[in-house]
Chain A
Amino acid sequence: MPYLALSAAFCFVIQMFNIPMPGGTTGHITGGALVGIVLGPWMALLALSITLFIQALLFGDGGITTFGANCFNMAFAMPLCAFAIFRLFRGKGTRRGLMMASALAGYLSIVGAALLVGLELGLQPLLEHTEDGTPLYAPYSWRVAIPAMLLPHLLLAGPLEALITASVVAYLYRAEPTLLKIHEHVNQEGSP
């Protein structure tokens, strides 16, 4: 359990590091890939949901009405995707193999999550608009929303998430190798 708490807190802080994106907007990495890899997808779902809950409740970041969508993208889809990719590519578990697998998992999972956000934001004007077609909520169509979410994450946030994920995994491999097997313990305990 302490690792669940630590992971939620880690994701909270790491998401406060805004990075400038082309076009005057900002983005941030999520930490979701790392937590997915270390804790496994189910514990990561809890950890990231706590992070997003605190962000919305205290700081108005993300927001109460978007909490569900945010959880789906960053707490469910992203760690699950990272976990699967990491498992698929970790090979024999050498340091190099683990780093490559976690970098790939970090990169692809944040790009995947960004794509989901683009799809969701682009869908909204189709569903919610006034009679004359004026959007009620998110105003941009897929043609704008998908590239706007995807490109910065492909170019900037993706490589950063990959770097952070791989470096922390490399650190854990050297300093706390038992932590890299945490989710296996959880699964064993959790099975009836």
Chain B
Amino acid sequence: MAVKKSSPLLRLSAGLLALIVLSPLGLLAQGSAWGEWASSELKTLLGFEVEGMKSLEGLWNPRLSDYAIPGWESHFSGPLGYLLCAALGTASCLLVAFLLGEALNKRKRKKEP
């Protein structure tokens, strides 16, 4: 690897890693964000079914809904699952951004031979 020990990239990545490790702290807060309810949560809030929302809910089934690994629900595995989701999400972001960057660079090189 060409990354030097003093590279800013490496230092910033270390900060990112620290944030991933700390991410289970985000579980301390209970409840959904305002406006981000599932239709079942809305039903309890309002007393009636919000039809349009319900009909759209099956549109996409995320594998790791709410940053939880299915079945990992104990006091220990829950936060651990959250941490792993943070790591996976971070890796995915890096990958997508990298691929996008490559694609953009390729196009730029074609334009300027």
Q: Are A54 and B93 in contact (CB under 8 A)?
A: yes
Judged by DSSP, the binding face of B is: helix
Q: Write the nearest CB–CB distance from A188 to chain B, whole angstroms.
A: 14
Interface centre among B8, B19, B89, B98 (most CB of A within 10 A): B89
Known contacts A27-B34, A58-B64: A46-B89 contact under CB 8 Å: no
Residues of chain B within 8 A (CB-CB) of A23 are: 34
Distance between A76 CB and nearest chain B CB, rounded to angstroms: 17
Main secondary structure, interface of A, reads: helix
Query: How many residue pairs, one in A and one in B, have C-beta atoms under 8 Å apart?
Result: 164
Does A14 have its Cβ within 8 Å of any Cβ on chain B? yes
B90 touches A135 (CB 8 A): no
Q: Chain A CB within 10 Å — which of B27, B36, B102 has the most?
A: B36
Partner of B31 from A5, A14, A25, A53 at Cβ < 8 Å: A25
**Are A5 and B94 closer than 8 Å at their CB atoms?**
yes
| B-to-A contact residues, CB < 8 Å | 8-9, 11-13, 16, 19-20, 22-23, 25-36, 42, 46, 48, 50-53, 56, 59-67, 82, 85-86, 88-94, 96-98, 100-102, 104-105
